[in-house]
């Protein structure tokens, strides 16, 4: 396991990830930070509220992709075990983020 420190909304968050996933997790953190920057006005917000807004923005984008006007692309069969491992590692990292958010929400 490795640790990656993400800068999101002017705050530092250290998250654990599988070895070799550091750069990918860092890019995901940059995506979240970019959403917050685009939203503006995150300064002074609590950590929980800031992350909640970022999650809502990303969930909205995902919803638009899944339910938008464009027909979904046909699934492409993937037979790359390395890619499958990366997807599983990403899913685990997202589950940990969700757990951390739930914990933060409970502490607020």
pLDDT at position 43 is 63
CA distance 29 to 25: 6
CA distance 54 to 60: 10
- Exposed, middle or buried: residue 92 (CB in 10 Å: 0-12, 13-18, 19+)? middle
Which two three-digit tokens encode residue 50? 């800031």
Which two three-digit tokens encode residue 102? 């739930």
pLDDT of the chain, 108 residues: tens digit per residue: 899 999 988 888 899 999 999 999 999 989 888 888 887 756 667 878 888 888 888 888 888 888 875 555 566 565 666 766 777 777 778 888 888 887 877 776
Instruction: Answer yes or no: pTM beyond 0.85.
Output: no
CA distance 22 to 26: 6
């Amino acid at each position: 396991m490795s640790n990656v420190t993400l800068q999101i909304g002017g705050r530092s968050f250290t998250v654990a990830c599988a070895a070799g996933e550091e750069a990918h997790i860092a890019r995901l953190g940059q995506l979240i930070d970019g959403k917050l920057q685009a939203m503006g006005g995150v300064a002074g917000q609590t950590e929980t509220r800031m992350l909640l807004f970022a999650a809502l923005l990303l969930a909205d984008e995902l919803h638009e992709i899944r339910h938008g006007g464009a027909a979904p692309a046909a699934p492409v069969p993937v037979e790359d075990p390395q890619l499958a491992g990366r997807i599983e590692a990403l899913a685990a990292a997202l589950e940990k983020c969700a757990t951390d958010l739930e914990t933060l929400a409970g502490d607020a």
